[in-house]
Structure 1
Amino acid sequence: MRQVILDTETTGIDPKQGHRIIEIGCVEMVGRKFTKRHFHVYINPDREVEEEAFRVHGISNEYLADKPRFHEVAQDFFDFIKGAELIIHNAPFDIGFIDHEFARLGGYPKIAEVCGVFDSLVYARKKHPGQKNNLNILCRRYGIDNSHRELHGALLDAEILADVYLLMTGGQTSLGLANSADSDSKEDGGVEEVRRFTADRPSLKVIKASDDELTAHEERLDLIDKQSGQALWRIKH
């Protein structure tokens, strides 16, 4: 399966109010392995970045002034994501902006018509109900170092989300409960010990019972049959 982990940064929160995408970051995986292919671009939105949005991502109007417009990068972006399953944290936000940008140009289908979409926020809420599940909290929960994430950035966040996704959908965590002395164990998601299994790990060795072990097993079941009736292990459901 080809998957693209995707994130965007924008001038504000609502495309219906004229807000635009200013950064797109994508990381590609095939068979849960990174291919080293990525798509990353800054975009001149032809409008001002709102102050509140700037405080989140730190991308200024001056920095974007000489960047390409969306129509200049649209086809390359579309070709990169077409046919892939998109992994996005809070997918309706990003998909809404992407669909809005393509609709402005005309001639492009909606993303849901050409891509699958996996919303990692929805998945995290089901896996960790009643807890916060933003990207910073998930990094802490799964032992991912995001100390270099002082501000949001589309490519950086896509790379971090890729690690979160792999651990959240394929890693194993300890079954121990958080220490009650940890005051933030419930509020911020707590910290769990994580065993990280890479996607290219070798197959586990299958050890089958020997003939002597199988004979001893059957003798034990015979004894259970005599003492308490038919053994559960021999009942066919």
Structure 2
Amino acid sequence: MREIIFDTETTGLSPAGGDRMVEIGCVEMIGRVETGRSFHAYYNPQRDMPSEAEAVHGLSSTFLSDKPLFADTVEELLEFIGDAPLVAHNASFDFGFLNHELQQCGRPPVSMDRMVDTLVLARAKHPGAKHSLDALCTRFGVDRSQRVKHGALLDAQLLAQVYIELTGGRQIGLSLGAEQAEERSSAAASVADNPAPARPVRPPRPHQASAEELNRHAAFIDVMDAPLWKKVGETI
């Protein structure tokens, strides 16, 4: 199954209040395995960047001033995500901004039925624990040393690894074991149907010492000083 793990960066917390999406990063997974394909874009929000938001992701108004509008490259994004389920952390936030941008350029919203929220998964699997992306990376041993600030593509890549752990870990691939077991069973059946040719029966090798060997052994014992074997033989 094809899935898209994605993350967004914005000018604030409320699209209804005038905040805009300024970055999106998407990572493609098929069968819970990253394919290496990704999508990444910055957008000009056509508004100032609040200092609080810039402190989180480091994207300034100056940096974004020459970036395309969301509507200018929306086709590339829609082509990449296709009709796959969309996985995000606190997904209602990212879906809210994505659908707001789609609405702004006259596109239909992404159905909420496609939403997979890793925050919900984490709370169900580890109730009472910390569920931020940083906390989950620490819990699952995901290297986040490059995450100095939030970045949509980097966070999507980290979330992809966290998502694997939340949905069965690296052992997902062990489903191949059933196929391998079937192959071994078929091989065993083939051996049973085509047994190896019978080997010739060989007579057992003699293990009892000959008279000559016994005489040589007795001569060897006689030259020893108080041999234990001779005493045992006399007792017997």
Q: TM-score range by the shorter chain?
A: 0.7 to 0.9
CA distance in 2 between counterparts of 1:33 and 1:125 reads 23
Following TM superposition, by how much is the alpha carbon of 1:162 offset from its aligned partner in structure 2, in angstroms?
0.1
- One-letter amino acid of the structure 2 residue matched with residue 203 of structure 1: G
Q: Give matches, 1:90-109, under 5 Å.
A: 90-106=90-106, 108-109=107-108
Secondary structure of the structure 2 residue equivalent to 1:16: coil
Q: What does residue 49 of structure 2 align with?
A: 49
* Contact 1:43 1:67 (C-alpha < 8 Å) held by counterparts: yes
**Matched ranges for 1:206-217 at <5 A:** 206=181
Write the deviation string for residues 202-231 of structure 1: whole angstroms up to 9, x where unpaired. Answer: 5266499xxxxxxxxxxxxxxxxxxxxxxx
Partner of 1:118: 116
Deviation at 1:139, TM superposition (A): 0.4
Let me know the Cα RMSD of the aligned residues. Answer: 1.9
**In structure 1, what is the equivalent of residue 127 of structure 2?**
129
> The residue matched to 1:71 in structure 2 has which SS?
helix
Shift of 1:3: 0.2
SS of alignment partner, residue 45 of structure 2: coil
Say which one has the larger Rg.
2
Provide TM-score, normalisation by structure 2. 0.73
Change (3 A) 1:71 1:200: farther
Distance in 1, Cα, partners of 2:61 & 2:54: 9
1:81-128 Cα deviation digits (max 9, x unpaired): 12101110001100001111111111x222117x61110001101111
Q: Which of 134, 137, 140 is 1:139 aligned to? A: 137
* 1:78 matches 2:78: yes
Q: Distance in 1 between matches of 2:31 and 2:139?
A: 24
| Local SS of the residue matching 2:177 | coil
Do residues 68 (structure 1) and 68 (structure 2) align?
A: yes
Q: Which letter does structure 1 place at the counterpart of 2:132?
A: N
Q: 1:151 aligns with which of 146, 149, 152?
A: 149
- Over 2 Å off, 4+ runs: 196-208
Q: Is 1:163 the counterpart of 2:146 in the alignment? A: no
Q: Partner amino acid for 1:26?
A: C
Are positions 1:203 and 2:202 aligned together? no
Aligned to 1:216: none
Task: Give the TM-score of the pair, scaled to structure 1.
Answer: 0.72
Show the counterpart of 2:232. Answer: none
Match status 1:36 vs 2:21: no
In structure 2, C-alpha distance between the alignment counterparts of 1:102 and 1:71, rounded to whole Å: 8
Partner of 1:212: none
Q: Which amino acid aligns with 1:10?
A: T
Unaligned runs of 5+ in 2: 186-236
Identity, % of aligned positions? 48
Structure 1 residue 197: Cα displacement: 3.8
Task: Give the letter for the 1:31 counterpart.
Answer: G
Give the aligned partner of residue 58 of structure 2.
58
TM-aligned CA distance change 1:126 to 1:53, over 3 Å: same
| Deviation of 1:167 (Å) | 1.2
Between 143-152 and 153-162, report the one with greater CA deviation.
143-152
